[in-house]
Each structure stands twice: as structure tokens, then as C-alpha cells.
Structure 1
Amino acid sequence: MTSTSTEPIELQPDLMVVEPERDDSGALRAPDGGWGWVCVAGRFFVVALVLGLVSGFGIVYVEIIDHFDTTRVETAWMSSLHSATYCITGLVGGGVLERFGCRAMTVAASILTSAGFIFSLFAQNLVLLCVLYGVLTGAGVSLMYTASTVIVLQYFDKKRGLAMSISSLGEGVGMLVLPPLTYLLIETYSWRGAFLVTAGITLNAAVFGLLFKPPPYLSKAVQNNTQRRKKDMLQSFKHLLHKKLFFLFALGSFLVHAGYTVPLINLIDLVDLKDIDKSQSAMLIPAMGVSTIFSLVLFGWVSDFPGVNRTGLHAGSIAVMAVSVMLVPALDSIEAFFVFAAVYGVFMGTWHMGQAVIVTEIVGVELTGVAFGIHTLHAGVGMFVSSLLAGWLFDITGNYVWSFYVSGGLYLLGCFVTLLVLIARHLATRNKHRRDNAPSAEVRPLSQS
């Protein structure tokens, strides 16, 4: 017999691979290992590619300005359209993931991203380049990152911080390898040749996406029944609407991402304008990558310690990033910029690792797919604003001083909102503890006359 329930967590016992475990609240419990470690390895490569492409755009950005002889705010539309598509795709990505699964979504997204690079190299004007690069690669990158993150979150519970930190090491490796590789490819083959080679590299993500097998506690019925999947997707969105704390956290992420692209995309241009050798400035992003690897190993391990508050660690990381970004305009030597890159990279890695983990802590593993898609929407909108704001501020002031000041200010606002989430979660936990430990009222029988 098949179940007729429309609840997303109801499973059909005759079709389950493994009886799912549940915690005290009745929520599904992830297996904490097994094939999940293979998914961790797959996500390592995918996020290396995704963040490497984003951080390497700062080098492409400078080349495009010179090639098309255009302004910085006009060229910033490449990154802004990329971010806009990233956020729109994030809005639907959770639903697509619910219906097709992480494996199919990653393979399709890698092909889409590769096609975006191939079509972009034929663009003969900036407008067409912005559309092709922004829309196609933006959608592909968003879907790849969402699917690779959700599959790891679905496999882990108590070891979630460790699993995410290990898989997120790919972010540091991507920042270490792809920006200097992009610089080398541009110097050798021009930016068009660099796009062609990058398209080939991107296709490798499809191979790793094939490793993303669904965890065994998910029902085969949900995986194979299309009509049931549609109901599950709608139910998930309805359940998510009641998670007000999640939307507050997403607002904080929007604010941080609104300042996020400034140090990644505009740092190299800022250093070049200070007459520092371009080959030296190209190594700043790899320096960030090295320090990111260090922080992911250290703080990913620490975040799983009993008593460690991941939300507090997340807020502290944002605060340090804010201060360091606001100090950038005052730097005047390549050594000082390398110190900034090291400090920023350490806390950027901690911040990156914490986002997905905290989302899952707030909404539960069952709503992770849809919730992370909505979170990606907020992040993408922020990145869209960030790119245009930095270019516009440069064009009206003639320097990047206000771009970095505003970026740091947005970080601080995001930190404040995250602290509100921390306080709200603390109060909710304390109230629940009081209710659970409150003495039950004693029922006294009525005396008979």
C-alpha cells in the first residue's frame, strides 16, 4: 500500500532503504557519515571551482575595462548580472533540488556554466558579454553551490561543522589556484582564451556531481514519485514561512553579501591604481585562499565542540571582516595588503563555513534544501547591489575609499542582525529549558462528601 499523506516527512515503510532515526523533537536525524564523506569530497571540488571563479573575476574585471575601454560601473554589470541571476536561481533552486535531487542538479549546472563561458568568448561588445556571462554562468554557479551544500548537510548532524569545514577547504584551494591560473591564461591567450580553458575545467564538476547520491533515510517514494515531490515542495515552503528566525538570519546575510564582492573584485584594481606591480597584486587572492584553508580546518573543528556557539562565532567573524575592510584604503604597500589578505581570509573562511550550518540548525534537515535556496536569494541580491555600488562610488569619487568604507559598514549591519539571531535563539533555548524543567501541576482528587 502507498501512503496518501501530504506531510513531507511521512515516509513509506515498504520503500525505505533504512529506517530513519529521529531526534527528541521527531525531526529526521542524518546518518553522520557513510557515503556522506564521499559527498564531502565531491563538494570540495565544486566549491573550489565556484569560489575560485568568483574570486578570479577581479583579474578579468581589469582586463575587460582595458579591452572595451569602458567605465568601471559599466563593467561592474558583468558581476551584477551574475549576482542577480545567482539570486533568482536561488529562489527556485530549492524547489528544483526538491524535485530533481542534488546529483542531477549539479551535473546540469556544470554544463550550463561551461556553456556560459563558451558563448561569452564570442561576445563582441560589453552588453552581450554581460548578458551571456552574467546569466548563464550565474545560474550554473548558483545551482552547483546550492546542490553541493545541501547534500552534505543532509548526510551529517553532530559532525555537520566538521563535514562542512572539510568540504569548504575547496574554497581556499580555489582561491589559491584559479586566480593565478586566470592571470596566466589571460597573459598567454587573452581573456577569450582564458574563458575557453575555464569552460573545460568547469565541466569536471559534473563528474563530482555524480557522487551526490541521496542519503538512505530519504524515502524512495519521494525520490521517484513526481506528484509526491510537487506536494513536498509546496509543504516545505509553507513550513519554512513559520521559521521567522531564518528570515532574520537571511537578512543579515543579505547585508554582509552587499559588501562582499568589494574586497574580492575591487582589491586588485585598487592595488594597481597605487602603482604596485600587477603580478604581485594577482597573488593577493591566493594569499586569502591559504589563510581560508587554515581557518576552515581550525574553526570547523572548534565549531563542533560542546558549548561552542556557532552563531556567535559567525557574528564575530563578520565583525573582524568589517574592520579589516574599512582599513584597506589606508594601506600603501604590498606587504600591508598581504597582511589584510591573510586576516580577511581567515575570518571569511569561518563565515563561509557557518552560513549553511546555521541555516540547518534553524530550520532542520528536512527544510534545508528549500531554506538554502531562499538564503541564496538573499545572498545574490546583496552581491548584485555590492558590485554596482562599488563601481558607482568609484566613478563619482575617482577612488575606492568610499567603496571599502561602505562595504565595511554593511558588514557591521550584518553583524548586528546576526547578533539579534544569537540573542533570540538564546532566549528561546532558555525558555524551552524552563518549560521542560518546570514542576508539573499536581492533580488532586475531589473529596467526597
Structure 2
Amino acid sequence: MQCRMRNTDAQPPEVEVVNQLETETRPPDGGWGWVVCLACFLTNCTILGSISINGIILIELLDLFNDSLSKTTIVCSIISGTAMFGGPLVSIALKFKASYRQLMMVAGIIAAASAVASSFAPNIETLIFTYGILVGFSLSVNYFAANVTLGQYFLKRRALALGIAYSGVGFGNFAMNYLSTKIIPFFGMRGTFLLLGGLFLNLTVYGALCRPLKPVNKQRTNIAQNKRSSVDEMEGAENLGFEAEDERCDDSNRRISEDIEPLPKTLQARQSITSEIIPSEFYNRKSSYCNGTIFKNKYFYLLLAIYTTHSVGNSVQIYLPVYVVSVGLSREESAQIMAIYGAIGIVSVLLVGFLADIIHIPTSYLLMAAMSSMSLSSILVPFCQSFETLALCAVLTSVGYHFGVSLRIVLISAILGTCNMTAAYSILSGLIGILYFLYPTIKGFVSEATQQFSVVFYFDFAITFLGAVLSCGIIYAQKTGKFVE
């Protein structure tokens, strides 16, 4: 005689736990990840390349609207700040079941429409809203979503992949600053806004390439099936849909139950199944670092403090071209210096990935080198008057700034773990966004009050030197094994 099974869709709680834990999101470290890397490269090129010409745009807006420096600077400082404030926006949108891919495509359309509207702005106030706020927030969503998506596709080669993607920043800086010397004199500032609208529309295409990373089945089904069988036997045939019709079935059930150790029908049984499916090391790490403990990690606060000082380097893109013109050089020469700044950025972000993943230089050392380079260049700028010396300062600033930018996600993942990357990077991006707005605005009022641009770079030196000192704490954390990854 055979045992007859009733059709039922009900599953015991233990089986449901098994099913939930049999899948996980594993970084493939390649495959479609390289397509996402290309999309992220182009996104960084477009967004940060357009922001890098804020200094040149500032000069043109001063001529177009004939307004004060401090007020006109707000346009550039707002878009610089809001472009980094996408973390909180994306985190809120994700709660409504939106994907990174969908957010990037919608934000690209909004950025394009807002840039076109900026070409018709009658005054600075309107431009602050259309270009500074609308375009800035739209770009921030694309920037944050693209880089976080890329970070999810890589683990062992994360620094290299992010370095390649961030090289788009340098390429965009170089290309946009070079093209601005040709486009702005020919089309004017209003025509340039129209061209930027067309450029931003490409962000929808780059977003479409950033496919969500799909979960994969864990290859531990045999263990799960064994445990499931033992639970079935000990809970009885009636509960799990089996009917014994003769003594042969009863005997077979009895023999199976004697061979397999029974599991109690409690939460401890579920935990025993879980421990077989997922290694205890992974389970403990996940439970330790995925429950809001980022706010209990003192090294995360230290990293926030360091990037508070590092963010001052972004305003160099706004004030260095103005300073170059103030010492008697032409606008074309200021654009050429910024093009050099962008070209060095390409080399810098590739170099930091090579040094971290191939040469295996600790990322904490690279962070200190970045802050030291920015500090040195800031103190040298006020003493430079020629094209060559100012270009050298731009090189030092670019190396330090782009090293620091490339290390953001790498350091966050190392300190807090990959599972906290999105939440922690969201907090860091929000802080950086605020600082990108505050630093240029404050320095605009200070330079206007003192009628000197050199005081801006003395301010930069004091801030970045403090960051270099604080980075010693990250070195200590890495050397003493405080990093999670």
C-alpha cells in the first residue's frame, strides 16, 4: 500500500524561514556590473562635469544679470549642494517601492526640462529655483542612485570599479571646461542652458542601464530538505497532509523518526535551520551591523567629520576661475586651468583604485594623502600669479579632492559593512550636500566683505589641515582591525 498525500499550500513556519533565507543578493563582481560601471561613468561625467563649470558660469552670470557676487554665487552653491543631497530623497522614494532605475529615469527628464526653463530666467531669483534647486535635486538622485547601484554589483573589485566610474568625474571636468571656452562665447549663457538640457536628457538612458541586482538561490537546498523532512515527521502526518493507511506506512515513519533527531516546534527549531543554511559568521555579522548600529560606531562619526573638511575642496571649482581672472589672466586661461584640473581627476580616480586593489595600500593612508594634498595646494594659491603655478595648484587640489571622492563608498563599506552602505552613504551625501551649499556661500560673503579672493584659500587651508589630522583616527581604526570588511 502507498501513502496518500493531500494537496495543500500551507507550509510550516520553519519551511517559510528556510524559503526566505535560501536567497540572497550576491555581488557578481563582473557580468552586467561592467555595463552598470559604464552607465555610472557616464552619469558622473555628465553631472559633475556640468557642475565643474560653475566658476565659469558664475563669471558669465555676473555679466548677464549685473548682480552682486554673493547673490550670484548662490546659484552655483545651491546646485553644488543639492547635487549631493540625493541620499535622503532616494531613501524616501525606496519606501514607496520605487527602484533606483526608475528614479534615475524620471529625474533625468526633470533635470532636462528644468535646464531648458533656466534659459528663459529673467533674474537671479528665478535661476536659483529652476537651475539651482530643480536641476540640482534631479542630478542628486541620479548621482546617488547610480553609484550605490554600482557598489552593489561589486565586492572584491569594488575600489577598482568605483575608480573607473569616478574617472568620469575627471573626464567630465576636462571636457566641459574645454567645451565651455567654445560654447559660451558662441551661444551665450542662455543657449548654454538649452544645451545642458539636452545633455541631462541622456541621464534617462544611463538610468535604464542600471538594472536592479536580482537575488540568487543559495546552494544549500539539501540541508534545507533534510531539516524540512525531520520537521514533517515529528509534527505528525495529520498536520503536514500525510495519511497513513496501513501498518507499513506507520513502520516506515517510525524508522525515519528514529534516524533523524526531532526538532522542537519552537523558535529554537527555526534558528537551528537558519544556522545550517547560513554560516554563523554571516548571521552574526548581519545581526550585528544591520539594525541601526551605524549611529553607535564612533569611526563613522569620525569619517563624517573628515568629509566635512574634505567638502571645502568642491568650492575651488567655483572660486579658482574667478581668482585666476582677478590676478590678470584671461577667461580662456582660467578655463584651461580647470580643464587641467579635470584631466588630473581622471588619472586620480583610476590611480586610487589601482593603489587600493592592486598595490594594496590601506585606504586610510590614501585618505590622509588626499587631505594633505588639498591642504598644501590651498596655502600655495595666494602666492601664485602665473598660469604655470596656478595650474600646479589645480593639479594638487584635483588629486586630493578626487582621491577623497573615490574613497567615500569604499570607506563606508569597510567601516560599517556592505549591508549598511545605502543608509550610511545617504547620511554622508546629505551632509556633503549641505556643506557644498554652505562653503561657497560663506566664502562669497567673506570675499565680498574683504575684497580679496586670497582669504578664501586661507580658509580652505585651515579646514583641510584639520581633516588631515583627523584622518589619523581612520588609520588607527584600520591598523587595529576595527573595520568590518
The partner residue of 1:380 within 413, 427, 433 is 433
SS at the partner of 1:202?
A: helix
Contact 1:121 1:196 in 2 (8 A): yes
Contact 1:48 1:175 in 2 (8 A): yes
1:145-164 matches, cutoff 5 A: 145-164=143-162
Encode CA deviations 1:421-445: one digit per residue, 9 max, x unaligned: 3323433449x9xxxxxxxxxxxxx
Contact 1:50 1:145 in 2 (8 A): yes
Q: In the TM superposition, what is the alpha-carbon distance from 1:97 to its structure 2 partner? A: 4.4
Q: In the TM superposition, what is the alpha-carbon distance from 1:218 to its structure 2 partner? A: 7.1
SS at the partner of 2:299?
A: helix
**Where does residue 402 of structure 2 map in the other structure?**
349
SS at the partner of 2:149?
A: helix
Distance in 1, Cα, partners of 2:428 & 2:347: 26
CA 1:4 to 1:240, structure 2 compared with 1: closer, same or farther past 3 Å? farther
Matched, 1:60 2:113: no
Gaps of 5+ in 1: 21-27, 220-234, 433-449
**Where does residue 251 of structure 1 map in the other structure?**
305
Contact 2:83 2:143 in 1 (8 A): no
**Where does residue 138 of structure 1 map in the other structure?**
136
Encode CA deviations 1:2-22: one digit per residue, 9 max, x unaligned: 9999xxxx9984797xx54xx
**Where does residue 319 of structure 1 map in the other structure?**
372
**Where does residue 435 of structure 1 map in the other structure?**
none
Paired letter, 2:397: Y
Paired letter, 2:140: S
The partner residue of 2:70 within 70, 73, 77 is 73
Matched, 1:100 2:98: yes
**Where does residue 175 of structure 1 map in the other structure?**
173
SS at the partner of 2:349?
A: helix
The partner residue of 1:291 within 340, 344, 363 is 344
Contact 1:53 1:178 in 2 (8 A): yes
Distance in 2, Cα, partners of 1:195 & 1:177: 16
**Where does residue 192 of structure 1 map in the other structure?**
190
Q: In the TM superposition, what is the alpha-carbon distance from 1:178 to its structure 2 partner? A: 1.1
**Where does residue 25 of structure 1 map in the other structure?**
none
Encode CA deviations 1:359-389: one digit per residue, 9 max, x unaligned: 1222222222222111111111111111112
**Where does residue 426 of structure 1 map in the other structure?**
479
**Where does residue 386 of structure 2 map in the other structure?**
333
CA 1:425 to 1:105, structure 2 compared with 1: closer, same or farther past 3 Å? same
CA 1:381 to 1:137, structure 2 compared with 1: closer, same or farther past 3 Å? same
Contact 2:108 2:204 in 1 (8 A): yes
**Where does residue 283 of structure 2 map in the other structure?**
none
Distance in 1, Cα, partners of 2:89 & 2:290: 13
Between structure 1 and structure 2, the one with the greater Rg is 2
Contact 2:26 2:216 in 1 (8 A): no
Encode CA deviations 1:308-358: one digit per residue, 9 max, x unaligned: 211221121111111112211111111111222223223322222111211
Distance in 2, Cα, partners of 1:426 & 1:86: 34
The partner residue of 2:126 within 102, 125, 128 is 128
**Where does residue 217 of structure 1 map in the other structure?**
215
Paired letter, 2:403: T
Contact 1:179 1:286 in 2 (8 A): yes
Q: In the TM superposition, what is the alpha-carbon distance from 1:413 to its structure 2 partner? A: 1.9
TM-score normalised to the size of structure 2? 0.77
Gaps of 5+ in 2: 1-8, 218-288
Paired letter, 1:251: A
Paired letter, 1:248: L
Distance in 2, Cα, partners of 1:117 & 1:418: 38
CA 1:307 to 1:189, structure 2 compared with 1: closer, same or farther past 3 Å? closer
**Where does residue 413 of structure 2 map in the other structure?**
360
Encode CA deviations 1:288-312: one digit per residue, 9 max, x unaligned: 1211112222221121147521122
Distance in 2, Cα, partners of 1:181 & 1:335: 21
Distance in 2, Cα, partners of 1:164 & 1:262: 23
CA 1:194 to 1:418, structure 2 compared with 1: closer, same or farther past 3 Å? same
The partner residue of 2:204 within 203, 206, 210 is 206
Q: How many pairs does the alignment contain?
A: 402
Contact 1:97 1:105 in 2 (8 A): no
The partner residue of 1:301 within 328, 351, 354 is 354
CA 1:218 to 1:403, structure 2 compared with 1: closer, same or farther past 3 Å? farther
Contact 1:262 1:404 in 2 (8 A): no
**Where does residue 223 of structure 2 map in the other structure?**
none
Contact 2:313 2:401 in 1 (8 A): no
SS at the partner of 1:282?
A: helix
Contact 1:106 1:206 in 2 (8 A): yes
**Where does residue 35 of structure 1 map in the other structure?**
32
The partner residue of 2:42 within 38, 42, 45 is 45
Distance in 2, Cα, partners of 1:139 & 1:218: 34
Paired letter, 2:71: E
Distance in 1, Cα, partners of 2:178 & 2:44: 17
**Where does residue 269 of structure 1 map in the other structure?**
322
Q: In the TM superposition, what is the alpha-carbon distance from 1:91 to its structure 2 partner? A: 2.6
**Where does residue 445 of structure 1 map in the other structure?**
none
Encode CA deviations 1:250-296: one digit per residue, 9 max, x unaligned: 22212221x22332111111111111121121111111121111222
**Where does residue 24 of structure 1 map in the other structure?**
none
Distance in 2, Cα, partners of 1:327 & 1:423: 29
